[in-house]
Structure formats: structure tokens, C-alpha cells
Amino acid sequence: MFRLVTKDRALGSALMLIAVLVGSILLLVVGFLARESWPALNEGPGAFFSASGWYPMEGRFGLLPMLWASLLITAGAIALAAPLGLMNAIALRFFLPPGLAAGYRALLALLAGIPSVVIGLWGLVSLVPLIALWQPPGAGLLTATLVLALMILPTVALTSSSALHAVPSDWLRGSAALGLSRWGTITGVALPAARQGIIGGMLLAMARAVGETLVVLMVAGNVVQMPSGLFDPVRTLTANIALEMAYAMDLHRSALFVSGLLLVALVTILALIAGRLGQGQVHAA
Amino acid sequence: MRHRWRDRLLTTLLWLSIAVLLAALGWLLADLVWRGWPGLSWSFLLDAPRDAGRAGGIGSILVATGLILLVALGTALPLGLGSAIWLNEYTRAGSRAGRWTRLSLDILAGVPSIVFGLFGYAFFGLFLGLGYSILSGGLTLACMILPILIRTIEQGLAAQGDDWRQAGAALGMSRASLLWQVLLPVSAPAIATGTLLGMGRASAETAALLFTSGYVDRMPEALSDSGRALSVHIYDLAMNVSGGDAAAYSAALVLIVLIVFINGLTLGASQVWMRKRVSYGYY
């Protein structure tokens, strides 16, 4: 008996050690980003937001044009994906018969699982030339927004649909018994009841969009500039890291790590708001 | 009357949304098959890439991808299993240590993959001196998939009612043997689901591998060699190699088939898990 208790204690301590190790990965990530960013941050963090543009050779590291590109593409993608995704979620919950809904859900899961590099490849080879016929060069703000919207669409649809499924069916039946039409029930009862979960899912989709690299790298055009039109080629924070990390030295490299820290800050804010909304679903499987 | 028009409009918009999604997905898949299929053959799967990947195959790249996945899962699975067991079996509900660990994992789950790439480059590559290697890339991916792995295994363990634990305690079993003999076997489908989810995510990843496992497309001879993952190969062919589109599409088709296969296994495993839950009568 005594031997067993000691064994259990030892196992408990070993497991705790593993969990503490795993729990501190986040600290390790942020710590190493901060360490590598230090030389550039030391030059005065204001320079990242006041310097007019990104000219690493001249030591000017203004992140604003790329931050704007990241935010605009994300905002556009969610503006497109939110209504489409929500409508698909409503269809899954209220319109499709159960068998068909299961198949459609599997199809959405398939789309959610397509690697971003493959979606980017399709955008680059199929969509960019099509848009170039109309507005050359084709790769730019609008193209990136469209492709990114397609990428986050299944996430929005699947999280919204599970939020809608969590609404007690008694409420829906009660509303039907009161004589509300199907859409009356949806807009008057189901959507308000599922609001928090739906918004939480959209915030998570936004976090994914801000951090997405391959799609924007392949179809956004990669020119560092303040976007002034829908078809302007732009470069996002993530694409900039992917493009320049391979050869960046010294302060230039350090500035890329600063943009990494900025990205972590952006997605953490989104995740915390989503968590605040009482939605524990960080992992949209 | 007014409502009837609104209802009709909304219903039209709803079917239109489904049509848009199906059209986009159909276009994407048809494009992949149409452009990728002609280049597929056994020699494409087995041969080494030639002429920067325009000709030859993806043999060495598949080997490198497999090794990267092996390192990632081999590291993440024991760590994830240990953490999930500790979180679910050894912490009191709502304890501070458990809460902080979960919060840290939730934030880690949202960290963009390109940032994992930066971290992996600085920590595994430079600080630990692993350089551009399969080991660097695999370990970086392990950090990336740990949150989803832990979350899934934890849910699997939590779904087993306390009856098992109480019965075990009443029989005088140690917690270690209760875990080993009872809880882990009945949670096996959840563990499999988590592992497959992590595998799917890891094989789809590109950004985290660009500066960790690198671009070298030779057959890797050791884990300390640089190895090019399939996703990195697709990116490189599409962006940096003119005339590489056809080979990129064939490689993308291989990657999609691989991922659909993994997804199918995940779905199967999670269905076994759900059925198990039901048949024991807890829900």
C-alpha cells in the first residue's frame, strides 16, 4: 500500500513537471521574440510607427503601411465571410435535413482543412490572372481579401453552427408555438440567444486572418505601400516576415521580430475578447 | 405581408450563400484535379526533384515531410498526454495552476504560425544550435500542435464519468494503474482524434517551416539535415520557380489527398469516441 502511494506521488510530480514545461512554452516564445526584438526596440519604439515607410537598407523601419494592409485585408475578409458563414450556419441548423446537414458539415470541414498554401496556389494561378484581365496586375488588396474570406468562411460557418446548436430546442419550439415564422424564430430567438458564441467564433476567425501568411504572401502583391485603392498591391506584416527573414541582418532582423511581437499582441487581444464573451472554443476543429 | 416578403428574401439569400460556397469549393477542387492530375504517377511520388522541382518527383520531399511529422508527433504526444492527464486528473477544478496552464495554452493556440517560425528559428535554430534542420522544424511544429492535442485528450478524459475513478479507488487501485488499465484505454479514441488533428495541422503548415526546416530538397540522411516539407515545396514552386506551376499542382494534389485521408481517420476516430461515450451510458 505504501509503495503504491509513493508511486502515485512520483507520477503526479512527473506529470506536473511536464505540464509546467508545456505551460511555459508561451513564455519561452514571447521571451525569445522580446530578446531578438530588443536591439530594434532600444532605438526607440516610436520609430516603428512614425518612420515614413519600410526602407531596411536605410535603417527606416516604419511598420504602418504593412499594419494597415494586414488590418484592411482582415476587415474585408471578415466582412465578406461573416454574412456568408452565418447564412450557411443557419442553413445547417434550420433548413437542411439532418442527413444532408451532416454531409455539408463534412464538406465544410474539408474546406477548413485545405492547407493555406494550396488555397494560395489556386488564388495565384487561377484568380489573379482573371482579376488581371480587368485590373492588372491582379495581385492586390481585393484578391487577397477574397481568397482570405474563402479561407476563414468554414471557420465562421462551423463555429456559428455549433453556437446555434447550443440554443435549447424548447425555446425554438416555444417560439414556433407562438406563431412566429421560421425566419421570425431565427432572427427573434435563435440568433440573439447564440450571439455570444457567434461573435466569439468571428473574433477567432479574425485572429486566424491577421496571422495568415501564405495566402497573402501569394496573392497580395507584396509591394510595401499605404493602400489607396482596392487593386493596389500591398504587403502584410506576416508576408514581410516570410519574405525578408531569409536574408535580414542585425537591426533589420530585429525589426522583423518586433513585427512578430506586434502580431502576437493583436491575436492575443482578439482571443481575450473572444474568451471574455464566455466562449471557450479556441480550437475550431 | 411585410414579413412574408422578408422571409422570402432571406431564404433566397440563404440558398445563394450555399451556392457561393459550393461554387468556390467546386472551382478550387476542380482546378486542383484538372491541373494536378496529369503530372501524377508512381515516378512522381518516388523520384527525387530535378531542375528545381520542375521535373522529377517529390520522393525526397515526402521522406522529409514524414520525418518532420514524426519528430513533431513524437515530441508532442508524450508531452501532451502528460499535461492533459495532469490537468484533468491531478488538479482540482478551478485551481490556479490549472487555470494558468489552460490560459497559456489558449493563447498559444492563437499565435500565428509565422511567429512560431520566428521563435523556432531563434530558439531551436540559433540558441540550441540545431540550425536549419528537420529537428528544428519538427520541434517547432510540436509547440504549435500541443494546445489542440492537449485540449482534445483532456476532453476525452473528462468525458469518462467519475464512476470509473470511484470504482478504482474502492478496489484499492493506485491512480497510476487506474490510469494505465482503465482511463487511458477508454480514452484511446480521443487520444487518436487529438493526434490526427495535430497531424493534419502539422502537415498543412508552411510558414512555421520556412526558416526552421529550410528549403534543401535532397534526400535527408539524418534528423540534423535540412529537409523540405511538401507544403514548402508547393510554395517554392509557385512563387520562386518559373514554370513550376504544373509540378506545384501535382504536389498540392498529393498533399490534399494526404490531408483528406487524415481527416477521414479523425472523423472515424471521433465517431468511435462518441459511440463509446454513449454505450457506457453516461450521457
Q: What is the pLDDT of residues B16-51, one digit of tens each?
A: 999 999 999 999 999 999 999 999 999 999 999 988
Q: Residue B265 has what pLDDT?
A: 87
Q: Residue B147 has what pLDDT?
A: 95
Q: Residue B96 has what pLDDT?
A: 86
Cross-chain Cβ contact B86/A107 below 8 Å: no
B112 C-beta neighbours (distance < 10 Å), count: 24
Flag residues of chain A having pLDDT under 70. Answer: 1-4, 51, 278-285
Is the minimum CB–CB distance between A116 and chain B shorter than 8 Å? Answer: yes
Angle between helix B134-159 and helix B245-279 axes, rounded to 10 deg: 20
**Closest Cα in chain A, distance from residue B219 (Å):** 22
Is the minimum CB–CB distance between A158 and chain B shorter than 8 Å? Answer: no
Q: State which residue of chain A sits closest to B257, comparing Cα positions.
A: A114
In chain B, alpha helices (H): 2-36, 42-46, 59-85, 96-110, 113-120, 134-159, 162-170, 175-178, 184-186, 188-204, 230-240, 245-279
CA separation for the pair A176, A174 (Å, rounded): 5
Cross-chain Cβ contact A126/B27 below 8 Å: yes
Q: Residue B276 has what pLDDT?
A: 64
Q: Residue B1 has what pLDDT?
A: 52
Average pLDDT rounded to a whole number, residues B113-125: 96
Is the minimum CB–CB distance between B6 and chain A shorter than 8 Å? Answer: yes
Q: Residue A284 has what pLDDT?
A: 36
Contacts B273 to A, Cβ<8 Å: none
Is the minimum CB–CB distance between A6 and chain B shorter than 8 Å? Answer: no
Is the minimum CB–CB distance between A264 and chain B shorter than 8 Å? Answer: yes
Is the minimum CB–CB distance between A20 and chain B shorter than 8 Å? Answer: yes
Q: State which residue of chain B sits closest to A205, comparing Cα positions.
A: B110
Q: Residue B83 has what pLDDT?
A: 95
Record the pTM. 0.90
Is the minimum CB–CB distance between B233 and chain A shorter than 8 Å? Answer: no
Q: Residue B277 has what pLDDT?
A: 56
Q: Residue B202 has what pLDDT?
A: 94
Confidence of residue B2 (pLDDT cuts 50, 70, 90): low
Interface test with B, best of A117, A252, A276 (most B CBs within 10 A): A117
**Residue B192 scores a pLDDT above 60:** yes
Is the Cα torsion angle B85, B86, B91, B94 positive or negative in sign?
negative
For all residues of chain B together, what is the average pLDDT?
Answer: 90
Average pLDDT rounded to a whole number, residues B67-87: 95
Q: What is the Cα A28 distance to its own chain's centre?
A: 22
Q: Residue A230 has what pLDDT?
A: 87
Is the minimum CB–CB distance between B107 and chain A shorter than 8 Å? Answer: yes
**Closest Cα in chain A, distance from residue B10 (Å):** 8
Radius of gyration (C-alpha) of chain A in whole angstroms: 23
Q: State which residue of chain B sits closest to A237, comparing Cα positions.
A: B114
In A91-221, alpha helices (H): 98-113, 116-122, 128-134, 141-165, 169-177, 182-185, 191-211, 214-219
Average pLDDT rounded to a whole number, residues B101-112: 90
**Residue B278 scores a pLDDT above 80:** no
Q: Residue A1 has what pLDDT?
A: 45
**Closest Cα in chain B, distance from residue A84 (Å):** 5
Confidence of residue B97 (pLDDT cuts 50, 70, 90): confident
Q: Residue A285 has what pLDDT?
A: 31
Cis peptide before A227 (omega within 30 of 0): no
